[in-house]
Protein backbone atom coordinates (compact mmCIF):
# COMPACT_ATOMS: atom_id res chain seq x y z
CA UNK A 1 0.00 0.00 0.00
CA UNK A 2 1.08 3.52 -0.69
CA UNK A 3 1.69 6.08 2.03
CA UNK A 4 0.04 8.84 -0.01
CA UNK A 5 -3.60 9.75 0.43
CA UNK A 6 -5.88 8.96 -2.47
CA UNK A 7 -8.41 11.36 -3.88
CA UNK A 8 -12.09 10.48 -3.69
CA UNK A 9 -12.04 9.61 -7.38
CA UNK A 10 -9.10 7.23 -6.96
CA UNK A 11 -10.74 5.59 -3.95
CA UNK A 12 -14.02 5.04 -5.82
CA UNK A 13 -12.13 3.67 -8.82
CA UNK A 14 -10.30 1.19 -6.59
CA UNK A 15 -13.54 0.19 -4.86
CA UNK A 16 -15.24 -0.40 -8.21
CA UNK A 17 -12.35 -2.65 -9.23
CA UNK A 18 -12.66 -4.59 -5.99
CA UNK A 19 -16.44 -4.84 -6.41
CA UNK A 20 -16.05 -6.21 -9.94
CA UNK A 21 -13.64 -8.83 -8.62
CA UNK A 22 -16.05 -9.86 -5.86
CA UNK A 23 -19.04 -10.09 -8.20
CA UNK A 24 -17.04 -11.99 -10.83
CA UNK A 25 -15.85 -14.42 -8.18
CA UNK A 26 -19.40 -15.02 -6.97
CA UNK A 27 -20.53 -15.66 -10.55
CA UNK A 28 -17.67 -18.08 -11.20
CA UNK A 29 -18.46 -19.96 -7.98
CA UNK A 30 -22.15 -20.22 -8.95
CA UNK A 31 -21.16 -21.46 -12.41
CA UNK A 32 -18.82 -24.08 -10.95
CA UNK A 33 -21.48 -25.22 -8.47
CA UNK A 34 -24.01 -25.66 -11.27
CA UNK A 35 -21.59 -27.93 -13.12
CA UNK A 36 -21.30 -30.16 -10.06
CA UNK A 37 -25.01 -30.96 -10.38
CA UNK A 38 -26.11 -33.93 -12.46
CA UNK A 39 -27.00 -33.32 -16.11
CA UNK A 40 -30.62 -32.21 -16.36
CA UNK A 41 -30.63 -30.53 -12.94
CA UNK A 42 -28.41 -27.64 -13.94
CA UNK A 43 -29.77 -24.16 -14.47
CA UNK A 44 -28.33 -21.13 -16.21
CA UNK A 45 -26.22 -18.73 -14.18
CA UNK A 46 -27.27 -15.15 -14.73
CA UNK A 47 -24.49 -12.72 -15.65
CA UNK A 48 -23.80 -9.93 -13.22
CA UNK A 49 -25.14 -6.46 -13.89
CA UNK A 50 -23.83 -2.96 -13.38
CA UNK A 51 -26.27 -2.67 -10.48
CA UNK A 52 -24.67 -5.72 -8.84
CA UNK A 53 -21.24 -4.08 -9.07
CA UNK A 54 -22.50 -0.75 -7.73
CA UNK A 55 -24.29 -2.43 -4.82
CA UNK A 56 -21.09 -4.26 -3.87
CA UNK A 57 -19.04 -1.06 -4.24
CA UNK A 58 -21.47 0.75 -1.92
CA UNK A 59 -20.92 -1.92 0.74
CA UNK A 60 -17.16 -1.47 0.42
CA UNK A 61 -17.46 2.32 0.55
CA UNK A 62 -19.62 2.11 3.68
CA UNK A 63 -16.94 -0.03 5.29
CA UNK A 64 -14.23 2.49 4.39
CA UNK A 65 -16.30 5.39 5.74
CA UNK A 66 -17.00 3.70 9.09
CA UNK A 67 -14.38 3.75 11.81
CA UNK A 68 -13.94 0.26 13.21
CA UNK A 69 -12.25 -1.16 16.27
CA UNK A 70 -11.09 -4.71 16.88
CA UNK A 71 -12.65 -6.74 19.67
CA UNK A 72 -9.75 -7.99 21.78
CA UNK A 73 -11.61 -11.17 22.80
CA UNK A 74 -12.48 -12.62 19.40
CA UNK A 75 -10.72 -10.33 16.89
CA UNK A 76 -13.96 -9.26 15.21
CA UNK A 77 -14.56 -5.74 13.93
CA UNK A 78 -17.22 -3.47 15.36
CA UNK A 79 -18.14 0.09 14.39
CA UNK A 80 -17.27 2.92 16.75
CA UNK A 81 -19.43 6.00 16.73
Model confidence band, residue 75 (pLDDT cutoffs 50, 70, 90): confident
2 lies in some domain? no
66 lies in some domain? yes
Position 8 scores a pLDDT of: 87
What is the chain's mean pLDDT, rounded? Answer: 91
29 lies in some domain? yes
Domain count, the chain: 1
**Are residues 56 and 48 in contact, defined by beta-carbon separation less than 8 angstroms?**
no
| pTM attached to this predicted model | 0.76
22 lies in some domain? yes
Per-residue pLDDT for 74 more than 80?
A: yes
57 lies in some domain? yes
Mean pLDDT over 20-35 rounds to 96
Query: Which of the 8 DSSP states describes residue 48?
Result: P
- What is the rounded distance in angstroms from the CA atom of residue 26 to the CA atom of residue 45? 11
Smallest CA-to-CA distance from 31 within 42, 18, 21, 17 is with 42
Concatenated DSSP letters for 18-32? HHHHHHHHHHHHHHH
* Range of the structural domain that residue 75 is part of: 8-79
**Who wins on pLDDT, 65 or 18?**
18
Amino acid sequence: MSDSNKSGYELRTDLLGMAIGIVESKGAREFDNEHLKPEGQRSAVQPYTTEDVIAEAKKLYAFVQTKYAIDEDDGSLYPTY
